[in-house]
Structure 1
Amino acid sequence: MTTRTTECFEVSIKDHIAHIRLNRPEKRNAMIRSFWSELPQIVNGIDAEASARVIVLSSTGPHFTSGLDVSAFGGSEIAPGAEGNDADTKRKAKLTAGQAFYQNVLGMQDAFSALENCRIPVLAAIQGGCIGGGVDLTTACDMRYCTQDAFFTIYETKIGMTADVGTFPRIVKILPEGIVRELAYTGRRIHAAEAKEVGLVNRVFADHATMLDGVMEIAREIAANAPLAVAGCKRLINYSRDHTTADALDYIAIWNASMLQTGEIMEAMTANAEKREGDFADLPPKRSMGA
């Protein structure tokens, strides 16, 4: 097993499963400045090197995450603009503040989009509070699992903001629109049982340890399948979600016409008949143009 630690995360890879853990429990895993660069670097690195077949995203402490740590950002990030007190500097800061804020938010959105765009399935294991940016984060994952004490809240509304890092484009494709509107307009908590009932989470577990055991078992089941087939499933599910049925059917036909691997199909069938693990090809590493 390989393990490394960053300011916000602990990352380990074993048996084709990458486990990314938010690792600031003393701060309720609040999303500080380094969070937004570390997460996409970790996810994109795993994807680029094809070093795992599944990613499990979990956390530490009583809460999954309290969301964005506003105190960790300077005024230039939350209300961007040039520093200084003279009239000309203030004038220029006011003119450019909107564009600077826009660029900052795009960068934060990209951090979560890395989870959706990577070729590898991402399973989120959530305990306690999943607050504000935590909802943005987990809705970018393929599946969500939680403990009985878990709750979710689009908390931005409560502090006078509109969630802007990914919640709305994704959650409206997970939950009925009326439920989304209620959660967004009120900012109320949706607890584990209701989250399971409306389809926000796949399964609810009694406690953190039981949840991690259960999610890792699901991850192992995914990792036992042909990586090329699983990656194709993720690509085509995302495409089908965002396009018409006719467009998706055509894309699936084109995809299989170019990507279908008869050798992997035969290996999967033979391994299943012989009750053994399949000897599958891993995803090819991603290469830059200069590689």
Structure 2
Amino acid sequence: MSYECFKVEISDNIAHVVLNRPDKRNNMNPAFWKELPAIIKDIDYGSKARVIVISSTGPHFTAGLDVSSFASVTDPINQADEKTKRLQSGTAFYDNVLEMQGAFNCIDDCRLPVLVAIQGGCIGGGVDLITSCDIRYATEDAFLTIFETNIGMTADVGTFPRLVKLIPEGYVKEMAYTGRKVGAEEAKTMGLINQVYKDQKTMLEAVMVIAADIASKAPLAVYGCKKMINYARDHNTTDSLDYIAIWNATHLKVEEIQEAMVANTEKRPGNFVDLPKSRKQG
């Protein structure tokens, strides 16, 4: 399937999703918000891979929201007249933001680990995107900025609820209040970036090795890890311990454990079952 904003390749259980509008600095136009969740859900629900890698093209990862399309976000669908438009504009804006948030929520909700490789600028909505991913990598020239502050907005697509759970609150507030550029090495010091590489080619090669390592593990176990980590992030220790006990009581498979142990002993890839296709599909 072809997309306006993305290129998708699936090989060796790794789905590579590439932002593919470098001439537009991969800004997030209306098509972006529809295509991204459709792609993620298709891979996840159809169990087409075991790990997803998101990367980009051109000098910048993404310039964030396409501001030329922003003017229409308060327009109600099928507006009757100017008075109706004015009265419904707030609700229309709210609905639009929920749809945009959903485009990144699907990454957080995805059963598969999602890795992101960032080069150049990761601006505005780009920060919303990468904070929804499981693991973040960057090039030396990469930088992040909560740019919305600089144009009189408060970031609303996912940055703050996720960023405050990734790095100390003081860093979040400084980034938000100033809208300044945070370089890759500083972001790594904060704990937001896992590793920094000299250039995009080196980064992608390394990230694909990490993705292949993840893809070699039992998918049911990796899914459980993501589910438990995300649950623990949002709940207290007592609830999280109880949930993981219940999870393993229903999901732990002795056959998969035995296969992993034998495969490690025999120094061969494990023969693991894939995640089932989701009933959400279609």
Tell whether the structures are fold-level matches, with TM greater than 0.5.
yes
- Structure 2, unaligned stretches of length 5 or more? none
Name the structure 1 match of 2:146: 154
Residue 223 of structure 2, aligned match among 205, 228, 231: 231
Classify the secondary structure of the residue corresponding to 1:119: coil
Residue 49 of structure 2, aligned match among 38, 48, 52: 52
Residue 36 of structure 1, aligned match among 27, 33, 38: 33
Name the structure 1 match of 2:211: 219
8 Å CA contact retained: 2:45, 2:280: no
**Pair 1:262-2:248 in alignment:** no
2:2 maps to amino acid: T
TM-score when normalising by structure 2: 0.97
**Pair 1:126-2:118 in alignment:** yes
1:33 maps to amino acid: P
CA RMSD of aligned residues (A): 1.5
8 Å CA contact retained: 2:13, 2:215: yes
How far 1:91 sits from its partner (Å)?
2.5
8 Å CA contact retained: 2:20, 2:26: yes
Name the structure 1 match of 2:13: 16
TM-score when normalising by structure 1: 0.94
**Pair 1:64-2:61 in alignment:** yes
In 2 relative to 1, CA 59–278 (structure 1 residues): closer, same or farther, beyond 3 Å?
same
For 1:82 and 1:54, the matched residues in 2 are separated by: 37
2:39 maps to amino acid: I
Q: For 1:161-206, what per-residue CA distance to the aligned partner results, in whole angstroms no more than 9, with x for missing partners?
A: 0000000000000010000000000000100110110101000000
Q: For 1:22-72, what per-residue CA distance to the aligned partner results, in whole angstroms no more than 9, with x for missing partners?
A: 00001100011100000000000000110000000000000000000011x
Name the structure 1 match of 2:75: 80
8 Å CA contact retained: 2:61, 2:121: yes
8 Å CA contact retained: 1:267, 1:279: yes
Matches within 5 A, 1:185-224: 185-224=177-216
How far 1:74 sits from its partner (Å)?
6.4
- Structure 1, unaligned stretches of length 5 or more? none
Identity %: 61
Superposition misfits of 4+ residues, deviation over 6 angstroms: none
Residue 245 of structure 1, aligned match among 233, 237, 246: 237
8 Å CA contact retained: 2:41, 2:110: yes
2:183 maps to amino acid: H
